[in-house]
């Protein structure tokens, strides 16, 4: 027995020592990688160079600092460049005498149309310097072609494709599936057009939803066609006809219908670029990628700052996690900016589908207080809808792109009833006692809402909607009745929102910054970004496991991953909480943009949207 304990103790000691040693080694490896990555020399741009744009990564609002940017780790797209840096680097290249032109090689671009518009505008501004832009690819998606169409020349591989058939929006409906599982999704809402919950109780789009989707998708398509028409010097009607009849399906079609200028192989393209730069055939081109190209924020007076505060993701209470807008975090940032005498104006960059009504109201309050002290201008990204519009409404003015998705002023909640599933299909029953008539409201999952309970929930939904409309009414200087007519959960594009008074001007973040400086009456100013970014190593470690899992699933399922992702989010997040709490993540009906879903929470009778 004594020898047994001796061996056990030795084994345990060995495991502990080995774990400590492995941990130290791992820290050493990470430290070495970080040191190596941080010590990389800045890429030197040679004279007579080309700036290379590929956009082969997800485009977030801001770049994510990453110490492993030079490594290739499956599932983790390490070479990230945010919209902020993309715009700044293109603007820097315009003034850089060493950069003679841009070579764009993008088959698809992972972001929304509003962000694409800002990139497109930056490229048009680059061209105004007299420098060239050449686009080439083996296959263009519609988003990639939308951006590439600004180029002086658009080339395609002889066996390549140009996708040009018009825009479409599709939603997965699951009513029959819920019926088969024995789940009744009890929906309480305000807003004829508030359609995000339709997949739970319908098998197809409602007529109201079909009307609004046709409207905002048509508005996006109008802008898409018109801007390509201007760049390619083709009539809009001609482009519509080409797309409607799907006349362009390959490289020959693209050249025939003038969407592309010529068919080239890569070697022919390289010769074309060498001719533009007067480089000898035998010599190499000097190329620097946008990811490696360095730029700095324009210098300005530190005592005259325009602060750009980024709010991206679903709106939640507390600090929030990566990809969420935490009300405590953003409110704290707004307070600090309001109290900072060096900050003369704030640009609030909102890119959000919405979220918690309470969290939205907490942020709204800080925007309102900030406006009383200094100018605050909202710049909307790809979308600023529902809660995203709520937190924008109090600003001095609101900028959006034509293709920004906004509005959706409405409220809803969902309480699932599992009675048929639990009682009849798997034989699970609930029983208990309560001290009040409504003590178990939202707590027992195997019974439907009573008429009185539904009335109570409906009254709370109505109350939140009235508060929402009042915030918009006060911020936009219109009556509550007017808000109601353009509310009801209806979604609008930025272009439509200007026409109905929800947005002031069409423009990107640079336009909002200039407007903020003008309102603050400052000439020379520095632009500072907030919140402060996490340190690079934390950013990497916080989400690497999830990214690897997603990458593996995408590799296995390919194009079907999007459908799997919708179902997974529902199953993972349909969780009953104790103390009358229900958390439900649901399908985002802005699936056209494939962004993160909204969150509904019903906590002790209060609705969060």
Angle of helix 113-127 versus helix 207-232 axis, rounded to 10: 10
Give the whole-angstrom CA distance, residue 69 versus residue 287: 19
Give the whole-angstrom CA distance, residue 206 versus residue 191: 13
Give the whole-angstrom CA distance, residue 344 versus residue 370: 11
DSSP 523-554: SS-EEEEESPPPPHHHHHHHHHHHHHHHHHHH
Give the whole-angstrom CA distance, residue 347 versus residue 363: 14
- Whether 528 and 305 have beta carbons less than 8 Å apart is answered as yes
- Whether 243 and 251 have beta carbons less than 8 Å apart is answered as no
**Strand bridging mode 575-577 / 581-585:** antiparallel
Report helix, strand or coil for 43: coil
Query: Which residues, 6+ apart, have CB-to-CB distance to 89 below 8 Å?
Result: 51, 81, 290, 293, 294, 295
- What residues are annotated to the active site? 194, 386
How many beta carbons lie within 10 A of that of residue 423, not counting itself?
15
DSSP element (H, E) containing 13: helix 2-38
- Whether 43 and 293 have beta carbons less than 8 Å apart is answered as yes
Angle of helix 83-95 versus helix 509-520 axis, rounded to 10: 80
Query: Which residues, 6+ apart, have CB-to-CB distance to 323 below 8 Å?
Result: 312, 313, 314, 596
Closest CA to 395 of 374, 381, 419: 374
């Amino acid at each position: 027995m004594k020898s047994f304990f001796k061996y056990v103790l030795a084994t345990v000691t060995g495991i502990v020592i080995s774990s400590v040693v492995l941990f130290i080694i791992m820290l050493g490896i990470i430290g070495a990688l970080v040191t190596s990555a941080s010590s990389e020399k800045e890429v030197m741009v040679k004279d007579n160079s080309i700036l290379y744009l590929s956009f082969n990564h997800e485009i977030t609002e801001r770049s994510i600092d990453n110490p492993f940017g030079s490594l290739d780790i499956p599932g983790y797209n390490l070479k990230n460049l945010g919209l902020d840096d993309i715009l700044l680097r293109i603007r820097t290249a315009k003034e850089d005498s060493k950069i003679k032109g841009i070579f764009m090689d993008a088959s698809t671009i992972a972001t929304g149309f509003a962000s694409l518009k800002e990139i497109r505008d930056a490229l048009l501004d680059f061209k105004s310097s007299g420098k060239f832009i050449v686009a080439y690819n083996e296959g263009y998606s519609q988003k990639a072609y939308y951006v590439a169409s600004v180029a002086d020349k658009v080339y395609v591989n002889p066996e390549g494709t140009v996708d040009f058939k018009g825009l479409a929006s599709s939603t997965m409906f699951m009513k029959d599936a819920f019926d088969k599982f024995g789940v009744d999704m009890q929906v309480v809402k305000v807003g004829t057009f508030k359609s995000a919950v339709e997949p739970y109780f319908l098998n197809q789009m409602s007529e109201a939803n079909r009307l609004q989707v046709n409207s905002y998708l048509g508005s996006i398509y109008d802008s898409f066609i018109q801007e390509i028409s201007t760049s390619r010097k083709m009539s809009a009607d001609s482009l519509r006809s080409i797309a409607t009849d799907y006349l362009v399906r390959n490289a020959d079609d693209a050249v025939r219908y003038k969407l592309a200028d010529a068919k080239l192989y890569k070697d022919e393209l390289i010769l074309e670029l060498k001719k533009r730069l007067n480089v000898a055939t035998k010599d190499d081109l000097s190329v620097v990628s946008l990811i490696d190209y360095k730029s700095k924020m324009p210098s300005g007076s530190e005592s005259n700052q325009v602060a750009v505060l980024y709010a991206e993701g679903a709106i939640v209470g507390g600090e929030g996690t990566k990809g969420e807008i935490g009300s405590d975090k953003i409110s704290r940032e707004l307070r600090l900016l309001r109290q900072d005498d060096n900050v003369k104006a704030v640009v609030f960059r909102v890119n959000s589908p919405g979220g918690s009504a309470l969290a939205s109201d907490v942020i709204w309050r800080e925007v309102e207080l900030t406006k009383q002290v200094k100018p605050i201008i909202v710049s909307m990204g790809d979308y600023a809808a529902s809660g995203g519009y709520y937190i924008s409404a109090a600003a001095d003015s609101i900028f959006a792109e034509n293709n920004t998705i906004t509005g959706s002023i409405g409220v809803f909640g969902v309480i699932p009833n599992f009675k048929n599933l639990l009682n009849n299909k798997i034989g699970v029953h609930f029983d208990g006692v309560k001290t009040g008539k409504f003590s178990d409201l939202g707590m027992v999952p195997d019974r439907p809402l009573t008429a009185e309970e539904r009335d109570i929930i409906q009254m709370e939904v109505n109350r939140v909607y009235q508060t929402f409309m009042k915030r918009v009414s006060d911020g936009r200087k219109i009556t509550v009745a007017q808000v109601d007519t353009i509310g009801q959960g209806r979604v609008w594009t930025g272009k439509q929102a200007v026409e109905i008074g929800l947005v002031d001007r069409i423009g990107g973040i640079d336009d909002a910054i200039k407007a903020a400086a003008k309102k603050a009456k400052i000439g020379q100013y520095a632009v500072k970004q907030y919140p402060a970014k996490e340190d690079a190593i934390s950013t990497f470690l916080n989400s690497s496991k999830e990214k690897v899992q997603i990458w593996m699933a995408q590799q296995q399922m390919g194009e079907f991953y999007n459908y799997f992702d919708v179902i997974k989010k529902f199953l993972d997040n349909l969780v009953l909480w104790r103390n009358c709490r229900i958390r439900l993540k649901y399908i985002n009906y802005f699936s056209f943009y494939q962004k993160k879903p909204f969150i509904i929470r019903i906590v002790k009778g209060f609705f969060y949207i």
